[in-house]
Amino acid sequence: LPPLPNNSPVGRLADGTFSRYAGVARFEQLPISKNIKKALISNKFVSMTDIQRASLPHALCGRDVLGAAKTGSGKTLAFIIPVLEKLYRERWGPEDGVGSIIISPTWELADQIFAVLKAIGCIHRLSAGLLIGGRQDVAIEKEHVNKLNVLICTPGRLLQHMDETPNFDCSKMKVLVLDEADCILDSGFKKVINAIISQLPKRRQTMLFSATQTKSVQDLARLSLKDPEYISVHEES
């Protein structure tokens, strides 16, 4: 993997100070719970990738993040770890309802995120589920949706639940993630995403991850992120 550029924002916090976790290289050095560290080790995740190294110190202290890095660079753990750590610190449990929403452009990608979430979050008492349309029955989803703490969704299906499912309550959610934000916004989901975001609490952490920072991603960042950390990890050319 390529080294971080010299002007990398790693470790710069909102007040201009540097995080003590700036530039740390291994997951075990991060301020995360023992359970997550154990799960990372048992899945053989030891050293962070560049995007993880650049974004996790910020994401773990609750900041909004706009992260861009190419496919295969490890963006999934860059948001799964902060989601799990936040809910763990808040002692979130099944009875607390929706704590985090992760939006993915396709059900195949949602499936992959779910697999990573299960691998890393298995020791926590959090519940997670997929709301992805397609091959899944919406009626069955409706029965379970209120018991889930982490929702991994495609945009259309999430909005359908917001509109149709009685008692579907996102008013306490803490962390919103848009994965492949460039794909989501460029495939005509802009209106759906805006409708979803308008129904979420304003006080929350938001993370956008994408392979490229398109204009749509920057527009959404302007509208929905608070003083975000812009992190871009590119290959040396």
Closest CB to Mg ion: residue number: 75
> What sections of the chain are H helices per DSSP?
34-42, 50-59, 75-89, 107-121, 138-144, 155-164, 181-186, 190-198, 215-224
Residue 38 to residue 47: CA distance in whole angstroms: 14
Q: Which residues from 66-85 bind Mg ion, rule CB under 5 A? A: 75
Report how far apart, in Å, the C-alpha atoms of 21 and of each of 68, 96, 103, 106, 126 are. 20, 30, 28, 34, 26
Smallest gap from Cβ 81 to ligand ADP, in A, equals: 10
Smallest gap from Cβ 131 to Mg ion, in A, equals: 18
Number of Cβ within a 10 Å radius of residue 236: 6
Smallest gap from Cβ 54 to ligand ADP, in A, equals: 12
Q: CB-wise, 16 or 72, nearer to ligand ADP?
A: 72
Q: Which residues from 25-84 bind ligand ADP, rule CB under 6 A? A: 45, 47-49, 52, 69, 71-77
Q: CB-wise, 69 or 153, nearer to ligand ADP?
A: 69
Smallest gap from Cβ 49 to Mg ion, in A, equals: 12
Q: CB-wise, 7 or 71, nearer to ligand ADP?
A: 71
- Footprint of ligand ADP on this chain (CB under 6 A)? 45, 47-49, 52, 69, 71-77
